[in-house]
Amino acid sequence: MILAILLALSAWLLSFVLPWWSLAIPAVVLGALLGTSGGHSFGFGALGIGAWWLIHTLYIHIANDGILTGRIADLFSLPHPSLVILITVIIGGLTGGLATLTGYLFRTTFLK
């Protein structure tokens, strides 16, 4: 669980100065340092980044009264704006999980 918390905090800090894909940097490092298995690394990486993106997306949604998510839903012909939030969380979770898994696999491959 500490992996997910550290990953969410580091992604939050990096989001102030770097683009969205910068979450992969601490995910690879933390996956290499704290990952105990492939499933553990992927699961907690997906949980940490998915939770962070959910909080951030809900904040943006509430801050502008859903205008942005409504327009993006219209752009992609989605029936409801909440699907934009769901898709965003899934993409973030997959990105975080795969990056953390990559860090764990690098450690197990190169430190044997």
* pLDDT digit string, tens, across residues 52-97: 999 999 999 999 999 999 999 999 999 999 999 999 999 999 999 9
pLDDT for position 5: 94
Contacts with 32 (C-beta within 8 Å, 6 or more apart), sequence order: 103, 104, 106, 107
CA distances from 56 to 15, 37, 39, 41, 65 (A): 10, 28, 25, 22, 14
pLDDT tens-digit map of 24-55: 999 999 999 999 999 999 999 999 999 999 99
9-30 burial, b for 16+ CB within 10 Å, e for fewer? ebbeebeeeeeeeebbebbbbb
Supply the pTM of this predicted model: 0.89
- Phi and psi angles of residue 78, each rounded to the nearest 5 degrees, phi first: -90, 145
Give residues with Cβ within 8 angstroms of 1, minimum separation 6: 44
Mean of pLDDT values over 5-30: 92
> Using 50, 70 and 90 to split pLDDT, how confident is the model at 105?
very high
Residue 112 has pLDDT above 80, yes or no: no
Which pLDDT score is estimated for 1? Answer: 86
